[in-house]
């Protein structure tokens, strides 16, 4: 429905698992995150195509609609109760929150943001930056990692940024394996 490919979802899910393992969250939890992460943007099915596929900058009213995908996603996943769907709902709802409290939908800050969503935010941004989209060229690995380092403590959890850099070689291997044709 939008410009994100299936390969983006595979890559960012595997990046998320690697970061979680590196952060010491354990094999079982990290595997649940691997399976929950692909649902992070499911709420975009509730957003009009004209907004999702708009090449330029969104107008303020369009941006307000776009931001609703987080809450729509959480609603779609529902209150099932399985560990996987609970984590998927948590990720869908909170993956646009930022460490410094400047994100959406609730403006959560620091460790009040579920760690699953903090990890997915980092994985998702890294893959989006380093991938080509109809409206932008891919950034180099160096440009993307510079931005992540610079956004440590602002957009991203500083401890997770450290974990990201420790497992960067493994992340780059995943990226290589699941490249766009």
Q: Which of 44, 109, 136, 154 is catalytic?
A: 44
Residue 76: is it exposed, middle or buried by C-beta count within 10 angstroms (0-12/13-18/19+)?
middle
CA–CA separation, 111 and 158 (whole Å): 11
User: For the CA atoms of the chain, what is the radius of gyration?
Assistant: 15
- Is 136 annotated as catalytic? no
56, 66 contact by CB (below 8 A):
no
> Closest Cα to residue 116, out of 179, 54, 74?
74
Hey, which residues are catalytic here?
44
């Amino acid at each position: 429905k939008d410009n994100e490919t299936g390969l983006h979802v595979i890559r960012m899910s595997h990046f998320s698992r690697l970061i979680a393992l590196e952060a010491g969250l354990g094999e079982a939890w990290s595997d649940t995150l691997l399976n929950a992460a692909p649902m992070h943007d499911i709420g975009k099915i509730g957003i009009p195509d004209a907004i999702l596929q708009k090449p330029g900058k969104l107008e303020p009213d369009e941006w307000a609609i776009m931001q609703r995908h987080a809450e729509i996603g959480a609603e779609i996943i529902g209150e099932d109760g399985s560990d996987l769907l609970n984590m998927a709902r948590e990720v869908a709802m909170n993956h646009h929150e930022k460490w410094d409290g400047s994100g959406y939908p609730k403006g959560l800050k620091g460790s009040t943001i579920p760690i699953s969503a903090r990890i997915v935010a980092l994985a998702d941004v890294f893959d989006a930056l380093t991938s080509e989209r109809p409206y932008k060229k891919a950034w180099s690995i160096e440009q993307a990692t510079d931005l992540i380092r610079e956004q440590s403590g602002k957009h991203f959890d500083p401890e997770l940024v450290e974990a990201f850099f420790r497992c960067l070689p493994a992340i780059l291997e995943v990226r290589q394996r699941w490249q766009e044709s």
